[in-house]
Structure 1
Amino acid sequence: MAATAGLPTTVDYDPDIPEATSIFAELSPLYMHAPQFDEVADGEWQGIIEEAIAINLAEVDAIANNPNPPTFDNTLVEMERSGQVFSRSYAAFSQIVGANINPTIAEADAALAPQIAAMNDSIYLNADLFARVRAIYDNRAAMAMTAEDAMLLENYYQEFVHRGALLGDEAQAELRTINGRLSTLSSQISQLITQGQNQAAIVVDTREELAGLSDGQIAAAANLATERGHDGKYMLTVSNTTGVPIIGQLQDRGTRERIYRASVDRNQTGETSTLPMIRETIALRNRRAQLFGEPTHANWQMYDRMVSDPARAIGFMTDMVPALRATQEREAAVLQERIAADGESFTLAPWDWEYYAGLVRQERYALDNEEIKQYFVVDRVLEDGIFYMAGELYGLTFEQRDDIPTYHPDVSVYTVFQDGEPIALFYFDPMQRDSKRGGAWMSNFVEQSHLLGLRPVVTNTQNIAPPAPGEPALATWDDVTTMFHEFGHALHGIFADQQYPSISGTNTARDWVEFPSQFHENFAAVPEVLQRYARHHETGEVIPDELVQAINRSSRFNQGHSFGEIIAASLLDMEWASLDPSAATPSDVMAFEAEALQRIGLRSDLVPPRYRTPYFRHIFEHGYDAGYYAYTWTEMLHHDAYSYVVENGGMNREMGDHIVETFLGAGHSKSYEQMFRDFTGRDPRVEPLLEARGLIPDDDGVTGVDGAEGAL
């Protein structure tokens, strides 16, 4: 018997639940039930998860078919108990898909994607199960519930409706077909994006063409070329994003253009083209919106967000476009002047922007990104910086373990203690490799739940450029802030303190889940923290004050690029999500993108969106469709929230306890608006974001580039 065996009954009820036979049949015997990665061969994953799907469906059917009247306990609580075999196995498998994929894993992922979509449809389109949920929901006013109980009930009811429980039989049948196909497309698009990124690497013939890169970077490029069969040459890879960081260092304009074009043109032609699949995805999303009677896919998708109205999200960003466009024009003029100062006559192009911005930044602010990088050893940033911050704020300490198997040798594992008591496990996987998809993310191997007696097991994954053999792994400042960002997600999981797993920790809306992560980026630059981890990898010297001051002085420089690429991508996402479902799907994906960028009104000819449509993984695989705006929305939240920290004593344990109590440990037990008000005592304000981005004057009257007055 599985989870349903303990249902409260008025008549005997003994449902037949298949028994699991895999390593995931029971909780892992490892510490805190960490996954037994060493016990599963690549070829076994598909069978394991298919068995788990069957068990999950049997458990849910047992709940739906219970002959006893529906109650909160015998329906909703049992739903929370169900699916544990699937959760254990799929959490481990999905991390391997993202961080250590190979052809066998890719094949299993492609085969499983439609089966998982069908499983979810079978749950949420189960009429008998929805009838039980609806009966409980309709009787909620007469029920005695905790606040968390009430949130769980509300979430379940909304989710059933959102997934089609109120649709007719014919519409539900079509919905199942759509969802199955979308899941297949999502898996295929994701794999093609990874392949496209790997294949976009360029071969460079001579060392002279790499002028501006460090000796270590050049050695790493030579090693990569050798690994890929180009002995005696050099290979440069593109990044997950449109912008390739090394463009800011490369002195040779031809090399800059080559790597830029390789980045922006990927996944548009040949075997890695995603364009036909993207067009089909858009068409299917729009047809689904029609089934639900929604005016756009965005309206359907944003039902549970902090910002549930697409017009509000769009307006929040478009209100900033005039000032941002003006900033881009000012910065472009400054960069064009810097080109002329070199005696060059060419017109600024997108592959020139970051290189000349780097020169201006160094000249005006004495900021050399390659020099700064020498102070950021990856392990030291983690252990002396992030862990120190977590100790000062939250009383956390960390102990590395060598007894927990991982899915790749690069991964390290730590026990997390609070005030001496073990509370979680933390995995860290920092380095880029061909088997890992781009970007950075946090996920849970084990979700916290008091109901299930589980403590959190969480992981952070990044893509920091690997060093040459024998050299230390060094991080850029962007890598450092990303490490703090992802650890903010990890803390959101580590401090989860909920009864029910589905509303525990990071199980929140897209435009809230990024708030705790962005909030913790602020602590990367706190002097007390910075001085502990920012030490030269050769001398051990603490980063000089003048370099720290240079970072601070230049923080609002180049916002036309850094903020412009984000807003362009966010509005491009909303352009795709706001199409009229009754109209024909654009036949030419890239033509639609070009028209959309023209409508958006930023200088995308010089500052392209952070992700172009063909490799915009967030909105075609990560679930951020009609949601990429969340990064800017939560940036507003975190700037305002951090101003509260500064005004009320800064980084100390009292503040940390307040953070945990009000939002970091609250999961989705309260509304998002209430959690923000509980922390700051007010609704969020946009002004701190605009000041931080240089779009309105700060207290010194400074905005934009070189003190120019802003337009907003």
Structure 2
Amino acid sequence: MSNPFLSPSTLPYQLPPFADIAVEHYAPAITRGMAEQRAEIDAITAQPDEATFENTMVPLERSGQTLTRVLRVFFNQSSADSTDEVAAIEEEFAPQLAAHEDAIELDGALYARIRHVHERRDALDDEQRYLVERRFTRMTLAGAGLDAEQKARLTELNQRLSVLQTKFEKNLLADTNDLAVVIDSVDELDGLSEGEISAAAQAASDRGLEGKHLITLVLPTGHPVLESLTNREVRERIMRASRQRAARGNQHDNSAVLLEIVRLRARRAELLGFASHADFITADQTAKTPQRVAAMLEPLAQAAARNARAEKPKLEQLAGHPIEAHDWAFYSEKVRKAEFDVDTSELKPYFEAERVLQQGVFAAATKVYGITFSERHDLQGYTEGVRVFEVRNEDGSELGLYLLDLYTRDTKRGGAWMNELIGQNELLDHPTIVVNNLNVSKPAAGEPTLLTFDEVNTFFHEFGHALHGLFAHVVYPSFTGTNVYRDFVEFPSQVNEMWMLWPEIVNDYAVHHQTGEPIDAGIIDRIRASQTWGEGFATSEYLAAALLDQAWHRLSSAEADAVTDVAAFEREALAAVGLDDPAVPTRYSSCYFAHTFSGGYSAGYYSYIWSEVLDADTVQWFEQNGGLTRANGDRFRQYVLGIGGKQDPLEAYRAFRGRDAVIEPLLERRGLAA
């Protein structure tokens, strides 16, 4: 059987030939891809000629094409549509891939050649020079300057960490499925919409639980249904199940896995000459040090906790009893209704998914950037239900493909994200294909898909990542799409959230799915007026997770070895920053904190609010300069979205804004200015 990964796809935009791809293709393609790239690196270092950009950096950028093709498809499937067989392949190859990457990053001969080019970089053009600087910095931080014994130890640590991170995600997915809440009587779901009840019935039916309903768990601690479920006992069951995921004593306990990850990351940082994993990570981000992260986050945490404490009495007055974690969202919505005449749970009939996509998400991009979307029914996605759209520029030229995977399933990890299946670059003549994954509950056949307010916001957010990937235009593969600093990558996606409630956009997509009546403009005005309500809770639960991530990763090697109780460490860390209110739990507790223990955000979950400083400042710029105009969109695309990773992002922001970002718009947005 021929392996479809061993040559470029012949489909439009080089879309992977999903109809021809089988699970048995992955292992041989990964193995061959690693061998090919290793040979390509050896050919670079074997050259007798003096190192130059053309004979060192260019072939390095060209290397690993087979491996890249297979891994982008494989890792997309392992997160979006995993199976036991896929998970087994991931576990098998995680240490091998870590060792392969180390073999390149720690290659002394390659490092020497790159250092030689780096010393002579002033003769290069801007993108070439920045590529050399980034590669030299990356290899230096990775440990390319270590001696042979240290490199061997580093490789051993990285391989073990890759195994543990894969195991953490596998445990979390299994426990998330196991702890889904079974509801025996539909009466217990009072407060949910017909669509939500239909989705719960379908989820139960899919598991063979006919006549029952199933509330599947989402990645964050809080669940969207907690806003509207009237049954307090059911709300408590859902919250308890969410907070118990992968906890100590469970079948899929992540405690020991987590502790070993923390210890090994600390030892690796020490080996590389850093005081902690957080020091190691931030050294190559815009933040530069964990002290700068703390200097921003800790004062915000105090203000957020103060605001949350001020919000609680209003909730308790309505409830008539002390507020617990499973009560907060429910009574917060009641306060929003009483004080602002806004009930976000009543907005779902106006948020039909297809209309949100076409007249909201797509329409905003068309108005701001001039791009257009057409569905390609002739092209197949990686699993049933994945839709493929062709994206073109205003002049009709090709921009790329956009894939949408909207619905939740047991084989998909929680949360929402964007992946690239192929990233534009001129060197290899590659186009762009991006994927958005969401986790919307799928209703029964014939029922409309109605989104919550938060799901609409998430849709716009993730599409902002997709636009970033689509618009980036670069020469070299290393700079493609969203390959930017981790604490900058959320900025463009957060900016795209602004269009959700922009009048020209919301008035088109927020239409009642039954009556066809547009949403009352007064409701949107009241939503805007109510947006600082609840920010004490929202900011506190986010900052609790961000500071918990920092607490784990600011540990020295000796300190990490001394931690034996995950829950106790978490309690102490949250108490230390004043975010230990039991009614305001952290957005992610340690054992299900996938962003930091199995994703790419270790010591980097602060990135969202760090990027939000830029986002809030940019939204202010749009508002001051006429809002949703093509001229504004072109400027933002030119200076921010279009550069990919080929320029220092803060320099790009200064070019766009005319100055550095200031924090005041963020403080005003989150009600923290006082």
Taking structure 2 as the reference length, the TM-score comes to: 0.98
Which secondary structure does the structure 2 equivalent of 1:674 belong to? helix
1:317 is aligned to 297
Which residues in structure 2 correspond to 1:185-200 (within 5 Å)?
185-200=164-179
- 1:62 Cα shift? 1.2
Post-superposition Cα deviations, 1:25-69, rounded to whole Å, max 9, x if no partner, equal: 221000010111111112321222121111111111111212222
- Choose which of 285, 310, 326 in structure 2 pairs with 1:305: 285
Matched, 1:587 2:547: no
Instruction: Determine the C-alpha separation between the residues in 2 that align with 1:391 and 1:229.
Output: 43
Counterparts of 2:70 and 2:167, CA distance in 1: 21
Please report how far the alpha carbon of residue 362 of structure 1 lies from its aligned counterpart in structure 2 after TM superposition: 1.4
SS in 1 for 2:391: strand
CA separation in 1, counterparts of 2:2 and 2:385?
Answer: 30
**Which amino acid counterpart does residue 299 of structure 1 have in structure 2?**
D
In structure 2, what is the Cα distance between the partners aligned to 1:690 and 1:331? 17
Is 1:655 aligned to residue 635 of structure 2? no
In the alignment, which residue of structure 2 is the partner of 1:380?
355
1:113 alignment partner in structure 2: 94
User: Retained in 2: the 8 A contact 1:282–1:576?
Assistant: yes
Aligned to 1:702: none
Kindly indicate whether the alpha-carbon contact (under 8 Å) linking 2:227 and 2:345 is maintained by their aligned counterparts in 1: no
SS in 2 for 1:451: coil
2:146 paired with 1:167: yes
Of 565-574 and 366-375, the range deviating more from structure 2:
366-375
Partner of 1:125: 106
Compared with structure 1, are the counterparts of its residues 21 and 172 closer, same or farther at alpha carbon in structure 2 (3 Å cutoff)? farther
Unpaired segments ≥5 residues, structure 2 = none
What letter corresponds to residue 567 of structure 1 in structure 2? L
Contact 2:345/2:453, CA 8 A, preserved across alignment = no
Letter paired with 2:611: T
Tell me which amino acid in the other structure corresponds to 1:403: D
Q: 1:434: how far off?
A: 0.9
Q: Tell me by how many angstroms 1:439 deviates.
A: 0.8
Counterpart for residue 428 of structure 1: 404
Q: Does 1:488 align with 2:472?
A: no
**1:354 is matched with which residue?**
329
Mapped pair 1:240 → 2:219:
yes
The question of 1:208 aligning with 2:187 is answered yes
The residue correspondences of 1:492-507 to structure 2 (distance < 5 A) are 492-507=468-483
Cross-structure match for 1:625:
602
CA drift at 1:205:
2.1
The CA deviation at 1:496 is 1.1
The alpha-carbon deviation at position 348 of structure 1 amounts to 1.2
Could you tell me how far apart the structure 2 residues matched to 1:216 and 1:130 are? 57
Partners of 1:382 and 1:57 in 2: CA distance: 43
- Tell me the equivalent position of 1:153: 132
Query: Residue 398 of structure 1: SS of its match in structure 2?
Result: strand
How far apart in 1 are the matches of 2:406 and 2:369? 23
Q: In the alignment, is the contact (CA less than 8 A) between 1:328 and 1:560 conserved in 2?
A: yes
1:412-491 aligned at under 5 Å gives the runs: 412-419=387-394, 420-491=396-467
Q: In structure 1, give the amino acid aligned to 2:365.
A: A
Q: Is the 8 A contact 1:639 1:689 kept in 2?
A: yes
Residue aligning to 2:47: 66
| Match 1:680 to one of 639, 642, 657 | 657
Q: In the alignment, what sits opposite 2:539?
A: 563
In structure 1, how many angstroms separate the alpha carbons of the residues matched to 2:656 and 2:663?
16
Q: Does 1:40 align with 2:21?
A: yes
Q: CA deviation at 1:73?
A: 0.7
State the Cα RMSD in Å: 1.4
Partners in 1 of 2:422 and 2:507 — Cα distance?
34
**1:659-684 deviation line (CA, Å, top 9, x unaligned):** 11111101122212111111111111
Aligned with residue 184 of structure 1, among 148, 159, 163: 163
> Following TM superposition, by how much is the alpha carbon of 1:194 offset from its aligned partner in structure 2, in angstroms?
1.2
Aligned equivalent of 2:243, options 237, 259, 264 = 264
Give CA-to-partner distance per residue, 1:564-597, whole Å, 9 cap, x none: 1111100000000101223324111111111111
CA 394–223 in structure 1, closer or farther in 2 if over 3 Å, else same: closer
Structure 1 position 620, deviation (Å)? 1.1
User: Which amino acid counterpart does residue 176 of structure 1 have in structure 2?
Assistant: T
**1-structure distance, mates of 2:375, 2:114:** 44
Residues matched between the structures, number: 671
SS of the equivalent of 1:333 reads helix
Amino acid at match of 2:599: H
Deviations 1:374-394 (A, max 9, x none): 111112111111111111111
Residue 295 in structure 1 maps to residue 271 in structure 2: no
Contact 1:361 1:557 in 2 (8 A): yes
Deviation, structure 1 residue 21: 6.6
Deviation larger for 542-551 or 559-568? 542-551
- 2:172–2:246 contact (8 Å) kept in structure 1: yes
Stretch deviating more after TM superposition (490-499 or 36-45): 36-45
The answer to whether the 8 Å contact 1:328/1:603 transfers is: no
The DSSP-based 3-state class of the residue aligned with 1:24 is: helix
Aligned partner of 2:373: which letter? F
Q: Take 1:210 and 1:21, find their aligned partners in 2: how far apart are those partners?
A: 51
3-state SS, counterpart of residue 356 of structure 1:
helix
Question: Deviation of residue 309 (structure 1)?
Answer: 1.0
CA distance in 2, matches of 1:214, 1:495: 38
Q: Could you tell me how far apart the structure 2 residues matched to 1:227 and 1:403 are?
A: 29
Q: Which amino acid aligns with 1:32?
A: Y
SS of 1:27's equivalent in the other structure is coil
CA deviation after TM superposition for structure 1 residue 211, in Å: 1.5
1:378-418 residue CA offsets vs partner (Å, 9 max, x unmatched):
12111111111111111100110012221112111111110
Distance 2:387 2:186 in 1: 35
Q: Which residue of 2 aligns with 1:11?
A: none
Describe the superposition over 1:514-565 as per-residue Cα deviations: whole angstroms up to 9, x where unpaired.
1011011111111001111111111221111122122112111111221111
- Shift of the alpha carbon at 1:504? 2.1
Displacement of 1:177 in angstroms is 0.4
Which TM-score applies when normalising by structure 1? 0.92
Deviation, 1:322, is: 2.2
Contact 2:219 2:414 in 1 (8 A): yes
Give the conservation status (yes or no) of the 8 Å contact 2:195–2:449.
no
Q: Which residue of 1 aligns with 2:312?
A: 332
Counterpart contact for 1:372–1:547, Cα < 8 Å: no
Q: Which of 524, 529, 532 does residue 548 from structure 1 map onto?
A: 524
Hey, what does 1:404 align to over in structure 2?
379
Deviation at 1:603, TM superposition (A): 4.4
Does 2:266 align with 1:286?
yes
Matched, 1:29 2:29: no
Indicate if the aligned counterparts of 1:43 and 1:104 stay in contact, CA closer than 8 A: no
Is the 8 Å Cα contact of residues 325 and 603 (structure 1) preserved in structure 2?
A: no
CA contact (8 A) 1:297 1:578 kept: yes
Tell me if structure 1 keeps the 8 A contact 2:29–2:66.
no
Q: Which residue of 2 aligns with 1:14?
A: none
**Structure 1, residues 90-109: CA drift from partner, whole Å, max 9, x if none?**
11111111111111111111
* Residues 1:522 and 2:513 are matched in the alignment: no
The 3-state SS of whatever aligns with 1:633 is: helix
Structure-2 separation of matches of 1:230 and 1:406: 29
Q: Deviations over 1:190-227 (max 9, x none)?
A: 11111111111112222222221123322332332233
Q: Kindly provide the CA deviation profile for residues 679-704 of structure 1, in whole angstroms up to 9, marking residues without a partner as x.
A: 111111111011011112xxxxxxxx
Question: Secondary structure of 2:429's match?
Answer: coil
Structure 1 gaps of 5+ residues are 1-19, 341-345, 697-711
Task: Name the CA distance, whole Å, in 1 between partners of 2:2 and 2:110.
Answer: 27
Aligned partner of 1:127: which letter?
G
Instruction: Please state whether the residue corresponding to 2:274 is helix, strand or coil.
Output: coil
Q: Is this contact kept in 2: 1:290–1:582, CA < 8 A?
A: no
Whether the 8 Å contact between 1:217 and 1:468 is mirrored in structure 2 is no
Q: Deviation at 1:148?
A: 0.5
Match of 1:646 in 2: 623
